[in-house]
Amino acid sequence: MVFLVNLGRVVFAPLLEPLQVAFEVNAGAVGFVASAAWIGSALPRIPTGWLLTKYPRQHVILASGGVLTAASLLAPMANRIPTLAFGAFLMGLASGSYFIAANPLVSELFPDRVGRMMGTHGMSSQLGAVAASFIVIAALRVGTWRTTFYWMATAALLSTLLFAVLARRAELPSAGTADRALLEAIRAQWRIVLTGVLVVGATGFVWQGVFNFYDSYMIAKGLTQSQGQLLLSVLFAAGVPAFFIIGRLADRLPLVPLLLSVIGSFVLSILLLTVVEGLYAVVAVTLLVGFAIHGLFPAADTYLLASLPDRHRASAYAAYSASMMVIQAGGSWAVGTLTDMQLHYDVIFQGFAIGLAAVLVTLLFAHRAGHLPARARA
């Protein structure tokens, strides 16, 4: 199921060019559709955290599967951008509620190797992102952009039914039963929550703008549309080993220095991307960008979930996740709007990277001064 909920968030990236043609709209309009998916992924996170104080994790996961199925059926019925954006919003809604329920569940199932298992879970999610371009290419060859969502609806329904059967047979942990006060958890853990929001929110804003317009950016660099779509898959494919490797390192290394190192690598890779030319050089830097950004997610999840106590885990994680998603969701809209203002992608991405570098320098000084928490409060 994690494959499909992530696919629902990222599938709009390889569809932006076909959607511009199909709806006869500008880049800002389709950028808004992509952002709608991520806004939808952000908004249910705190409400889902509250639901987890009342209902078992598996029930929330099943509900998210039902929403994803319905959204995947609604999207291909759209004849106007607002309707499509609403479908994208619902797909994001499903993914947001899923991750808030599933990530704490994974950490509680394997409390002695949180980094490793979050990396494995994230790697499975990443396979959905890797497959997105290939699924879109196949759908466009046998049908239209709508075909993509019909396939997703079928797969979402089957995976939800399968999860229901497996959840009834499995013995699930009881750690989450101690988490019954959302606001108390946020008040107690606000320092680590705020740190996670600054780290992942700012970096994710840049990432959202980059990957949603990656194939368009590649076309601007002189590559073909099919090459741009394949490079988007390369960008996501680099995340598969990143989740695996960084997830294991997160169980062994101090997490704040690891997080800051990953951000620094991402800034440098984005700056490098804006100056390289030629297919092979772009492929090489694309791998660097993909590895750097996807290493951030298992490190950040381990930073929170491995140290948050049982009574605060899901609630504090929901507050972190919702806040950082709201910040990063506007990245696609920002890039689409700036390109409509005739700014070149190189200029936009260089500006984003410099802004993120300023955030990184601030975090480094705060870490040196002892203001960034190494772990949650006991």
pLDDT tens, residue by residue, 77-134 = 999 999 999 999 999 999 999 999 999 888 888 888 888 889 999 999 989 888 888 8
Angle between helices 190-212 and 27-42 (to 10 degrees): 150
Q: Is the pLDDT of residue 357 over 90?
A: yes
Report residue 10 CA to chain centroid gap: 8
Q: Does domain 2-368 have CATH number 1.10.1040.10?
A: no
SS3 345: helix
Mean pLDDT of the chain: 91
Per-residue pLDDT reduced to its tens digit, 122-170:
999 989 888 888 899 899 999 999 999 999 999 999 999 999 998 888 7
Tens-place pLDDT, residues 3-23: 999 999 889 888 988 999 899
| Integer Cα distance of 45 and 25 in angstroms | 31
Q: Which amino acid is present at 193?
A: V
8 A C-beta contact, residue 308 and residue 108: no
Residue 175's pLDDT band, with cuts at 50, 70 and 90, is low
The predicted model scores a pTM of: 0.83
- Write down the pLDDT at residue 376: 77
Higher-scoring residue by pLDDT: 365, 330? 365
- Look-up: residue for tokens 């804003």? 205
Q: Which residues of 315-348 are buried (b: 16+ CB within 10 A; e: fewer)?
A: bbbbbbbbbbbbbbbbbbbbbbbbbeeeeebeeb
Complete DSSP assignment for 240-273: HHHHHHHHHHHTTS-HHHHHHHHHHHHHHHHHHH
Q: How far apart are CA 96 and CA 120, in angstroms?
A: 19
Distance between CA atoms of residues 158 and 156, nearest Å: 6
Residue 174 pLDDT level (bands cut at 50, 70, 90):
low
pLDDT of residue 62: 94
- Distances from the Cα of 370 to the Cα of 257, 373, 378, angstroms: 12, 7, 18
Distance of CA 94 to the CA centre of its chain: 13
Q: How far from 7 is each of 53, 87, 148, 318, 328, CA to CA, in Å?
A: 28, 14, 11, 21, 18
Query: Considering the chain, what percentage of its residues have pLDDT values greater than 90?
Result: 61
Dist CA 180 CA 189 (whole Å): 15
Please give the single-letter amino acid code of residue 279: L
* Alpha carbon distance 73, 14 (integer Å): 19
Q: Are 31 and 335 in contact (CB under 8 A)?
A: yes
